[in-house]
């Protein structure tokens, strides 16, 4: 077996240093690598090189904190054996290759459209999605969406039910497709690209922008000063707290627990209002820029944040203690929407959902970035894989974030002078992993001659995790779908890009 | 029981008493103020990531502006963003703020349809459609109904079915893949119906304006009654904009 070069998170590698192999070896070696318990695929994509397509696969080794990169150049016209047949976690990446470049797979288990881009090779339009069907007089289908009852994003869910029980759920997305990856190449100005990163998913502004700025700095050989790293770490934990709190409120709404909804809902407000006091936007749009920051974190802000956290903590603990010990709440949350550890591992689940199913998968611990090396993060792991586990992970992560923020606030780093950033390195690939509140975010960029961007790949945690939701609801009652869905709270726009 | 009472006691009153006069905390990028100072206008316009800045005289189009504030940081003597969150109007050109213009952004009463005041001034039910929205506008619209902003106190409410709605609130840059669903939803709303565009992405496409993945033909077909600026729209912008629209009578 060839030794794959192992790069660190936020590192840059010359395109010529990525081992190139024929497709059969590429497939086999990556299948073998993914068989190891501590390995998982962070991204698999292709970029055009003339008439051929160069496939790049990045596999993260969570124990060694390294990312193995390998590649294979193929002519997309041919027919290929899929990796998904052996490693189902890769299904969505190969579907993407099929959709975007017409790569045909002879044995892909589920070769369906992903997001219906305008130049899709298959030519299938969004109303003609080929749904899985079961012919039976006993069963019925329920279609939900793309427009849902609440104020949320669009996506279509097709249930096959036996009475009230769900046998199968198929999730069709793509409604939110805005062509972001292409825009990254077309917009040549750094500010425009940063704004694009901020608008990938509005609930994960910090997560995605952080991945982008870290990636860009590594491409340009720029080491961010401690002040920038501090601000990024702090903002990421604040975002985690805010969204987790809002999600707990939304889960209370879905089971009709009004007090929980009102209190968690309003507890989110001071945190996002703090982000506004810091940078002028409740979702931290505008806060992060590659190489610089427009909004320094001051001692005065630290004082305000401390007061906000103190007020938050007692109110949060009080309502969490009440809400998650009520028999009515537990009756709805416990043993609902179970994803087993084995399922989670097979489908390559990431982030909070994976941790609720017993997988210790957290980029903050395994591939630390910014100041996480110093925080020595211990992932919160639960083992039942049900809605309640996902609630508990959120609750405990909020408490953990509180502690991290307080530790960070003890020493506010001095503002460092602005330094010039070089141009991006030519003919190189950079990869950046971030643990957003939902899970692992991967941004990957490839540059050509002159350092011009020739490919940009965004992988939102939702891309890995939508299948987990489909598995979670099997054999549950259809009335439990809303709480299962909310317990994952996956992103539509992060998936559709 | 006692625990619940204790929680209620600790929460106290959370609502904002006068959301039409409330002040937002800290810094906020709302309606911009442009001075008549002399600057290199080309450099200023080139800075904007979404081409929202016009030249001679310098102007900012709030329908395109994504409120990143970079122009104000680079040219602090020329441009400043005020904390005025009332940046909603029913007239697209009113969103263009020119140098020296310090008027508040308001609804033009001449353009308000008679039936809006007649039918909706006390109660307005809205159906929201996200067509490529990044979920920040959606979160802010949800927040408008929480215990702090509580837009429900004015009879403004989001409903599940378009058949129960008086109008649509559209967020996002209007993607091609959502075009058909949006059209069907609009047709399902009984007349008279209104259309509200929430957020810069919906008004102009924002940073996505040039993307071939969009289909904005919906806006060519149907009239828009309210433009709400912001990236995302602040709950107070939404609340005040909608209130002003339904309370304005044609003079």
Distance from CA of B251 to the nearest CA of A (A): 34
**pLDDT exceeds cutoff 70 at B100:** yes
CB A436 within 8 A of CB A208: yes
Q: Which pLDDT does position B24 carry in this prediction?
A: 85
Q: What is the pLDDT of residues B24-57, one digit of tens each?
A: 888 899 999 999 888 888 999 999 999 999 888 8
Q: Answer yes or no: same fold for A6-115 and A180-488.
A: no
The DSSP code sequence of B53-71 is EETTTTEEETTT-----HH
- Encoded tokens for A193: 């690209």
Q: Which pLDDT does position A121 carry in this prediction?
A: 80
Determine how many CB atoms are found less than 10 A away from the CB of residue B20: 12
Q: Which pLDDT does position A175 carry in this prediction?
A: 93
**pLDDT exceeds cutoff 80 at B239:** yes
Q: Which residue in B has a C-alpha nearest to residue A301's C-alpha? A: B26
Q: Where are the domains of chain A?
A: 6-115, 128-172, 180-488
Question: What is the enclosing helix (H) or strand (E) of A34?
Answer: helix A23-35
CATH number at A6-115: 3.30.460.80
Distance from CA of B110 to the nearest CA of A (A): 31
Distance from CA of B151 to the nearest CA of A (A): 14
Give buried/exposed letters for A155-182 (b at 16+ CB in 10 A, else e): bbbbbbbeeeebebbbbbbbbbbbbbbb
Q: Is A310 on the interface with B (CB under 8 A)?
A: no
| H helical segments located in A411-460 | none
ipTM: 0.91
Question: What is the enclosing helix (H) or strand (E) of A411?
Answer: none
Q: What is the pLDDT along chain A (497 residues), one digit of tens a residue?
A: 556 778 888 889 999 889 999 999 999 999 999 988 889 999 999 999 888 999 999 999 998 889 999 999 998 888 899 999 999 999 999 999 998 888 889 999 888 889 988 777 877 788 888 899 888 889 999 999 899 888 899 999 999 999 999 999 999 999 999 999 999 999 989 999 999 999 999 999 999 999 999 999 999 999 999 999 999 999 999 999 999 999 999 999 999 999 999 999 899 999 999 999 999 999 999 999 998 898 999 999 999 999 999 999 999 999 999 999 999 999 999 999 999 999 999 999 999 999 999 999 999 999 999 999 999 899 999 999 999 999 999 999 999 999 999 999 999 998 888 888 888 999 999 999 999 999 999 999 999 998 899 999 999 999 999 999 999 999 999 999 999 999 999 999 999 99
Nearest to B49 among A146, A191, A278 (CB): A191
Whether the model pTM is above 0.80: yes
**pLDDT exceeds cutoff 90 at B1:** no
Q: Is A176 on the interface with B (CB under 8 A)?
A: yes
Q: Which pLDDT does position B109 carry in this prediction?
A: 87
Q: What is the pLDDT of residues B161-178, one digit of tens each?
A: 999 999 999 999 999 999
Q: How far from chain centre, in Å, is Cα A198?
A: 14
The Cα–Cα gap between A389 and A400 comes to 16
Q: How far from chain centre, in Å, is Cα B58?
A: 23
Q: Is A298 on the interface with B (CB under 8 A)?
A: no
Q: Which pLDDT does position A234 carry in this prediction?
A: 95
Distance from CA of B234 to the nearest CA of A (A): 8
Q: Which residue in A has a C-alpha nearest to residue B83's C-alpha? A: A280
Omega into A15 within 30° of 0, i.e. cis?
no
Q: Which pLDDT does position A1 carry in this prediction?
A: 54
The Cα–Cα gap between A90 and A39 comes to 13
Pairing of strands A66-74, A6-7: antiparallel
CATH number at A180-488: 1.10.645.10
Q: Is A52 on the interface with B (CB under 8 A)?
A: no
Task: Compute the average pLDDT of residues B227-245.
Answer: 93
Taking the CA atoms of chain B, what radius of gyration do you get in angstroms? Answer: 19
Distance from CA of B128 to the nearest CA of A (A): 6
Give buried/exposed letters for A319-349 (b at 16+ CB in 10 A, else e): bbebbbebeebeebbeebbbbeeebbbebbb
Cβ A315–B11 below 8 Å, yes or no?
yes
Cβ A493–B24 below 8 Å, yes or no?
no
Determine how many CB atoms are found less than 10 A away from the CB of residue A42: 25
The Cα–Cα gap between A164 and B151 comes to 36
Q: Is A149 on the interface with B (CB under 8 A)?
A: yes
Residue A10's region, left for phi above 0, alpha for psi from -120 to 50, else beta, is: left
Cβ B177–A126 below 8 Å, yes or no?
yes
Distance from CA of B38 to the nearest CA of A (A): 24
Nearest to A147 among B24, B129, B176 (CB): B129
Q: Which pLDDT does position B118 carry in this prediction?
A: 87
**pLDDT exceeds cutoff 90 at B17:** no
Nearest to A178 among B146, B211, B234 (CB): B211
Select from A178, A191, A257, A301 the residue whose CB has the most chain B CBs within 10 Å, as the one to mutate to test that interface. Answer: A178
Cβ B69–A280 below 8 Å, yes or no?
yes
Q: How far from chain centre, in Å, is Cα B231?
A: 8
Q: Is A179 on the interface with B (CB under 8 A)?
A: yes
Of how many residues is chain B composed? Answer: 251
Cβ B138–A151 below 8 Å, yes or no?
yes
Q: Which residue in B has a C-alpha nearest to residue A314's C-alpha? A: B10
- Encoded tokens for A102: 């017409």
Q: What is the mean pLDDT of chain B?
A: 91
Q: How far from chain centre, in Å, is Cα A229?
A: 21
Q: How far from chain centre, in Å, is Cα A362?
A: 11
Token match 């929680």: residue?
B7
Nearest to A178 among B142, B160, B175 (CB): B175
User: What's the helix, strand, coil split of chain B in %, to 5?
Assistant: 35, 15, 45
Q: Which pLDDT does position B251 carry in this prediction?
A: 65
Cβ A192–B29 below 8 Å, yes or no?
no
Count A/B contacts: CB-CB distance under 8 Å. 190
Task: Compute the average pLDDT of residues B59-77.
Answer: 92
């Amino acid at each position: 077996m060839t030794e794959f070069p192992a790069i660190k998170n936020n590192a840059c590698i010359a395109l010529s240093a990525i081992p190139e192999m024929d497709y059969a070896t590429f497939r086999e070696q990556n299948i073998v690598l993914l068989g190891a318990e501590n390995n998982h695929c962070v991204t698999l994509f292709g970029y055009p090189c003339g008439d051929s397509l160069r496939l790049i696969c990045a596999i993260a080794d969570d124990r060694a904190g390294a990312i193995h990169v390998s590649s294979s150049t193929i002519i997309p016209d041919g027919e290929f054996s899929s990796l998904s047949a052996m490693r189902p976690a890769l299904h969505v990446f190969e579907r993407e290759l099929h959709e975007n470049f017409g790569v045909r797979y002879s044995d892909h288990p589920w070769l369906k459209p992903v997001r219906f881009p305008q130049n899709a090779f298959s030519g299938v339009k969004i109303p003609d999605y080929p749904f899985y069907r079961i012919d039976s007089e006993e069963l019925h289908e329920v279609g939900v969406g793309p427009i849902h009852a609440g104020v949320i994003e669009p996506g279509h869910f097709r249930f096959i039910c036996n009475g009230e029980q769900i046998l199968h759920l198929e999730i069709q997305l793509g409604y939110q497709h805005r062509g972001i990856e292409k825009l990254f190449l077309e917009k040549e100005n750094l500010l425009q690209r940063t704004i694009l990163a901020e608008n990938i998913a509005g609930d994960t502004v910090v997560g995605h922008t952080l991945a982008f700025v870290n990636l860009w700095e590594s491409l340009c050989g720029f080491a961010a000063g401690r002040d920038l790293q501090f601000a990024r770490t702090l903002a990421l934990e604040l975002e985690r707290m805010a969204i987790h709190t809002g999600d707990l409120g939304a889960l209370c709404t879905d089971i009709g627990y009004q007090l929980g909804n009102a209190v968690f809902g309003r507890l989110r407000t001071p945190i996002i209002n703090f982000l506004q006091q810091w940078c002028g936007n409740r979702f931290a749009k505008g806060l992060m820029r590659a190489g610089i920051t427009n909004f320094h974190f001051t001692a005065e802000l630290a004082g305000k944040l401390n007061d906000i956290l103190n007020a938050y903590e007692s109110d949060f603990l009080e309502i969490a203690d009440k809400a998650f010990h009520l028999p009515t709440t537990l009756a709805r949350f416990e043993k609902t929407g179970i994803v087993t550890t084995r399922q989670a591992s097979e489908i390559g689940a990431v982030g909070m959902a994976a941790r609720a199913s017993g997988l210790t998968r957290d980029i903050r611990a395994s591939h630390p970035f910014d100041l996480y090396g110093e925080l020595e993060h211990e992932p919160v792991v639960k083992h039942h894989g049900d809605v309640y586990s996902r609630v508990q992970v959120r609750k405990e992560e909020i408490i953990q974030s509180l502690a991290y923020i307080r530790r960070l606030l003890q020493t506010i780093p001095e503002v460092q002078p602005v330094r010039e950033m070089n141009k991006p390195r030519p003919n190189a690939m950079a990869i950046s992993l971030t643990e957003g509140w939902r899970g692992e975010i991967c941004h990957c960029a490839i540059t050509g001659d002159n350092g011009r961007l020739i490919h940009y790949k965004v992988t939102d945690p939702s891309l890995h995790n939508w299948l987990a939701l489909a598995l979670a609801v099997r054999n549950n009652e259809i009335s439990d779908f809303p709480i299962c869905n909310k317990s994952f709270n996956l992103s539509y726009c992060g998936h559709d890009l | 029981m006692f625990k619940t009472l204790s929680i209620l006691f600790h929460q106290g009153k959370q609502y904002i008493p006068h959301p039409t006069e409330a002040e937002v905390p800290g810094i906020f990028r709302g309606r911009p103020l442009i001075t008549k100072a002399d600057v290199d206008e080309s450099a200023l316009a080139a800075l904007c990531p979404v081409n929202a800045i016009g030249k001679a005289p310098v102007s900012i189009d709030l329908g395109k502006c994504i409120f990143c504030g970079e122009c104000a940081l680079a040219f602090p003597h020329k441009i400043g963003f005020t904390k005025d969150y009332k940046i909603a109007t029913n007239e697209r050109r009113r969103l263009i703020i020119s140098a020296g213009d310090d008027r508040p952004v308001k609804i033009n009463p001449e353009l308000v349809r008679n039936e809006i005041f007649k039918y909706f001034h006390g109660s307005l039910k809205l159906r929201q459609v996200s067509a490529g929205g990044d979920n920040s506008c959606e979160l802010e619209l949800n927040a408008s109904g929480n215990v702090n902003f509580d837009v429900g106190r004015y009879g403004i409410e989001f409903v599940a079915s378009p058949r129960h709605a008086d109008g649509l609130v559209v967020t996002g840059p209007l993607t091609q893949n959502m075009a058909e669903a949006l059209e069907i939803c609009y047709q399902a709303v009984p007349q008279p119906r209104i259309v509200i565009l929430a957020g810069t992405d919906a008004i102009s496409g924002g940073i996505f304006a040039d993307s071939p993945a969009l289909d904005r033909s919906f806006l060519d077909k149907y009239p828009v009654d309210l433009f709400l600026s912001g990236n995302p729209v602040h709950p107070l912008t939404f609340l005040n904009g909608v209130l002003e629209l339904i309370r304005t009578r044609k003079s």
